Structure 1
C-alpha cells in the first residue's frame, strides 16, 4: 500500500485571494477589472443568491474578459503571472504544510476550480500534481467557455477518483475552505477546513 496522499484546494486555501480576479487584473489592469465587475454585477449577485451556478457565472466572467484572446498570448501572460505575482499570494503556512507532506513522501495534489493555465505551471515548479478546470479553445483562441465541467464540488471527487485508486493509500489528507471543497474533504481521514487562517479547524479527523 502507498503511504499517503494529500489533496489541496487552491484559491482561498493555499492563496489569500481568488486567482481568477487576480489573473484578470494582471492581464487587463485594475481599472478594467473593476469596470467589468460592475457590468457583470447582475450575474455575480445572481450567483450569490444561488439563482445561477458558479460555473455559469465563471463562464460569463471569462467570456467578458477573455473571449477571442489568442491562447498563445493568454498563456504567456499566465506564465508571467505565475512568476511575478502568484508567489506573493501564497500563504506561507500552506506552503510549509505542502513541503512537510513532500518530505514525508506524501503524494500532493492540487484540486482546483481555477483554470489549469495559471495553476499548472506553479504546480510543476513545486513538483505537485494538478487537477484543474480546463478552458475551451477554438481556432487557437479562448472562447470563455469551460471545456467539460467546472472542477468544483462533486466534480472534484469525480476527477480525483478518475486519476487515483484511493484504496491504495493508507492515509488521505484534504484541505479546503468553501462548501465546494466539502465533497473532497469527505474523502479524507484527516480533513481541514480553512486550515491556514487564524484559528485552524479540523473539518473531520478519524
Structure 2
C-alpha cells in the first residue's frame, strides 16, 4: 500500500506574506507622511493592495505598525549613508548624497510620529538607532578630517536641517512646497563647506542633543 504525501505551497505562502508585509509598511509610511499618525488603516490596506484582514494579521494594532515603519525608515536612512560612503569619491560628496537621500525619506514629517508612538525600549529599535548615530557621526568625522566640512558644524546640525527642510508636517496645506526641498538642501550644503565665510553663534548640535528626554 503506497501513501502519497500531501504537498503544500508553504514557501510560496511565506514569500507572499513577506511581500504583503513589505507593501503594508511602504503604504503606511506614505500615508503617515500625508495624514499623520491617524491615517486610516483601511486606506493603508488599499494602498498596499491587501485586505484589512491581511493588515491586521501582520500588525495587531496601529502602534505596532508605526513601530515597524520607524524601523524601516531608520534602516533605509542607514543604508543610504553606507552606500554614499562606499560609492562617492570624497567625504563631502558622501555627506551631500546622504542628506538628499535622507530628505527623500521625509524624516521631518515622520519625526513626531516616530518619536511618539514607538516602543522605545525595543532592542531592535535601540540597535537601529545606535547604527544610525554611528554612521551619521562617521560621515561628519570623515568630512571634518578631510578638511571639507566647516569645523563648527556637528552631526546634530545636519539632522536638524534635514528635519526642518523636509516639513511641512502632515495635515498642512503646503505639500506643494516639496518640490523645493532639494534646492534648499543644496543651499544648506553649500554653507557647510570649508572654509567657512562666517562664524556660527552658539555651539554645534550633537545627536545627544536630539534624544528625547524623559
Taking structure 2 as the reference length, what is the TM-score of the superposition?
A: 0.28
- Higher RCO, 1 vs 2 (CA within 8 Å, ≥6 residues apart): 1
Which structure would you say has the larger Rg? Answer: 2
Query: Quick check: which one's helix share is greater?
Result: 2
